[in-house]
Structure 1
Amino acid sequence: MELGTIEREIFIDASPEVVFEVVSSPDHLKEWWPDDASYEPAPGSTGEIVFGDRDTGGTVVAFTVLEVRPPSTFSFRWTHPADQPAAVGNSLLVTFELAPSGAGTLLKMTETGFRELGWEAAVLEHQYKDHVSGWDFYLPRLERYVAALGVRR
């Protein structure tokens, strides 16, 4: 197992403009991925996403927006220490690339940076597998959420 990059592609029955809004807006993001999200969808914006309830032990994760190119690319770094700027070596990089495909959108999600974090082998393997299972759970939720919006073009 390579343990360095996670890539997933899914087809979503909606325009790239709709899908871009759903993967970049914190109001939409929290409907299919974290339980809460606060950031501006603008390059350099910092904020956080929260899994669970922050007041009862939920996980708060630092989040920094890198690239915003509607309707084709949205990328961010996450998991870095909240008191440090996101950079190679202290965070993971997630990129959503969107391309028109028939009447919908082909979304490619890539997450990288696992090896650069300097984890020992067992931690690296655990974190990588945790993120693989996470994306395998959350990306279908993204697809269902867009379908529930009832917006196509």
Structure 2
Amino acid sequence: MAELLIADEIVVEAPIEVVWRVVTNPELMTGWFADVVDLVIEPGARGRLRFGDQGGPVVVEEVEPPSRFTFRWNHPEGSEPLAGNSMLVAFTLAAEGPERTRVRVVESGHELTAWPDAEKQRYADEHREGWAEFLARLAGVVLP
């Protein structure tokens, strides 16, 4: 099987506080990520993300301003998101000087599902492409 790792990063020309706000403010998230973000950004919060005609539940796990934000998604409706039935998305932000921020996103958990290997690979490939697109959009949205 090919690489299952879903990870990408980008350096944004803006201070970490500005990038953090764009990554974690639901109103601003619609400019680079989901079409609809119905979510409060606090640990344990439950909400929904919508991408066109697709979407589903999301649960916030960690919020550590201005450096770490994680959530679980893609778990079956009505179930508790756990390792094996959901994916964990982790954003890590690191200042690289006063006006530059490295944003890294890692999505994991698909490798723990009971899916066939081909489905795990399809998911990894599609989401790797998706995160590259989302990060490129993020860089275009961030304005100091």
TM interval, short-chain normalised: over 0.9
Is 1:68 matched with 2:60? Answer: no
- Equivalent residue for 1:115, pick from 107, 111, 114: 111
Match of 2:49 in 1: 49
Could you tell me how far apart the structure 2 residues matched to 1:85 and 1:2 are?
28
* 2:64 maps to amino acid: R
Aligned twin of 2:30: 30
- Aligned residue identity for 1:85: E
1:10 counterpart = 2:10: yes
Give the 3-state SS of the residue equivalent to 2:30 in structure 1.
helix
Provide the TM-score with structure 1 as the length reference: 0.89
Q: Is the 8 A contact 1:43 1:65 kept in 2?
A: yes
Unaligned runs of 5+ in 1: 53-57
Contact 2:9–2:135 (8 Å) recurs in 1: no
Residue 2 of structure 1 and its aligned partner are, at CA, apart by: 2.6
Q: Partner of 1:80 in structure 2? A: 75
Q: How does 1:68-147 map to 2 (within 5 A)?
A: 68-102=63-97, 103-146=99-142
| CA contact 2:8–2:128 (8 Å) conserved in 1 | no
**Residue-by-residue CA offset, 1:9-39 (whole Å, 9 max, x unaligned):** 2101111111111111211111111110111
What is the CA RMSD across the aligned residues, in angstroms? 1.0
Higher relative helix content: 1
1:94-149 residue CA offsets vs partner (Å, 9 max, x unmatched): 11111110221111111111111211011111111110111111110011011xxx
Give, in whole Å, the separation in 2 of the partners of 1:50 and 1:27: 13
Task: Name the count of aligned residue pairs.
Answer: 142
**1:20·1:74 contact (CA, 8 Å) conserved in 2?**
no
- Corresponding residue for residue 55 of structure 1: none
Indicate the percent of aligned positions where both proteins have the same amino acid.
Answer: 37
Distance in 2 (alpha carbons) for counterparts of 1:98 and 1:88: 24
Scaled by the length of structure 2, the TM-score of the pair is 0.94
